[in-house]
Amino acid sequence: MAGRWKNDLNWSDVTPRAEFLNRRQLLAGVGALAVGGIAGPALAKIDAVKTNYGRGLEPNSYEDITSYCNFYEFGTGKDDPSRNAGRMKTMPWSVRIDGLVDKPGNYGIEDIVHGVTMEERIYRFRCVEAWSMVVPWVGFELADLLNRVGVQPSAKYVAFETLLRPSEMPGVGSRVLEWPYREGLRIDEAMNPLTLMATGIYGEELPNQNGAPLRLVVPWKYGFKSIKSIVRITLTDKQPPTSWNMANAREYGFYSNVNPEVDHPRWSQATERRIGGGLFSAREDTLMFNGYGDEVAGLYAGMDLRKNF
């Protein structure tokens, strides 16, 4: 259901459309000149409801958001996804929805986005690696999709899977993670109005490196929870295995809520570097639940967040 969440970030700070379109044309020109598969800019515009709430945080530039990504299926370097993800075919695309639902099946992406209310939402995005961005997403609430397919009362968790197509993903030859990439949420987290299924940024379809055509956005959790290029959603009664937790349970918990008081074993989570500030940018304090405590702290009432990190 749209409109349950009120933005506290400011639309007036978003890069004016004409300005970023100019940059996009420049990008497209560069892309046309370059040899090999550069992930070209998406062209389709999405009609989305704009929200005008908020005090100001400035979104990162389109270039920052689309050039500095973690998407290990395309390589572990931050610039690998923008160079390699163009090979991924996102048409046709369907999502298998199964498990404890009333209407399981393969849903085409056109079907999934048909009839939902698309909203533009400016969210903070905090990576577990202690950097952050602010992203103007376009998407709809995951709750809309789950309500449509009918969640059975016994469902306690939602599991997600990313596409695994080795011929289009040069990074999956490496065993850095166990493929396919998997993530999961508790059902109440999934139904929270903040939890978004994003299909776009800056009012246009997601570029592949950002998780086209459909990705999760859970703004109060570390970025790796916001799984990209989703092909499967399973409702289950058990906590599902999740990729980073499988790779290293000591470092990456199932919850992975942004928490400045619980450090990663190898680095502090108390501060973060906002991308885009250049070589001499200062670190900023990290906010509890990435600044979304009012909306989500209640989900974890009574839980020891040091244990359930």
Residue 177 near other proteins by CB under 8 A: yes
273 binds other proteins (CB under 8 A): yes
Question: ∠ at Cα 307 (193, 252), nearest 5°?
Answer: 70
List the x/- string, 67-86, binding to other proteins by CB under 8 A.
Answer: xx---x---x-xx-------
Q: Which is nearer to other proteins, 19 or 263 (CB)?
A: 263
CB closer to other proteins out of 96 and 283: 283
Closest contact distance (angstroms) between CB of 76 and other proteins is 5
**Cβ nearer to other proteins, comparing 49 with 176:** 176
Q: Is 58 in the site for other proteins (CB under 8 A)?
A: no
Among 175, 238, 250, 307, binds other proteins (CB under 8 A): 175
**Residues in region 84-103 near other proteins by CB under 8 A:** none
Task: State the nearest-atom distance from the C-beta of 190 to other proteins, in Å.
Answer: 25
Q: Among 92, 278, 294, 301, which residue sits at the site for other proteins (rule: CB under 8 A)?
A: 278
Distance, in Å, from the CA atom of 245 to the CA atom of 100, rounded to the nearest integer, reads 23
Residue 174 touches other proteins, criterion: CB under 8 A: yes
Among 22, 25, 239, 281, binds other proteins (CB under 8 A): 281
Interface residue with other proteins, options 8, 58, 64, 144 (CB under 8 A):
64
Stretch that binds other proteins, among 7-15, 145-153, 225-233, 265-273 (CB under 8 A): 265-273
Q: How far is CA 227 from the centre of its chain?
A: 6
- Nearest residue (CB) to other proteins, 92 versus 278: 278
Binding of other proteins by 276 (CB under 8 A): yes
Give the interface with other proteins as residue ranges (CB under 8 A): 60, 63-64, 67-68, 72, 76, 78-79, 129, 131, 174-177, 247-248, 263, 266-268, 270-271, 273, 275-276, 278-283
